[in-house]
Amino acid sequence: MAIYEEFRAMIEKEDLWRAAKLINGDLAVAEVFRRLEDRLVEDWKGSAPENEQKRMEAYYMVRAISAVRTELTALASEPDILHFNKRLRKA
């Protein structure tokens, strides 16, 4: 039973990596992130100096978009990194 669970976990990871690669390379997702960032930057630029709350929210949302992009890239790259590390261990 343990072998089955390990195999199942491996397949789930591979599915996850494939999905991350698809999302990371998807033009529509990239466009959505770009539009959100543009809108948030415009919100920040158009906010009154005394409206700190609105500027901070825009800043944190732009940072969140960046964090999502970074995590997608990292997840999509995991199999390549694992393969590279295995090759290093063999050498």
List pLDDT tens digits, range 44-78: 999 998 999 999 999 999 999 999 999 999 999 98
pLDDT digits over 10-30, tens only? 778 888 888 999 999 999 999
Residue 84 pLDDT: 66
pLDDT at residue 9 in the model? 76
How far apart are the C-alpha atoms of 13 and 39, rounded to whole Å? 34
CA dihedral angle for residue 64, residue 70, residue 76, residue 80, rounded to 10 degrees: -160
| pLDDT, position 5 | 80
According to the model, what pLDDT value does residue 66 have?
A: 96
Tell whether pTM > 0.75: no
Closest to 41 (Cα-Cα) out of 12, 10, 22, 62: 62
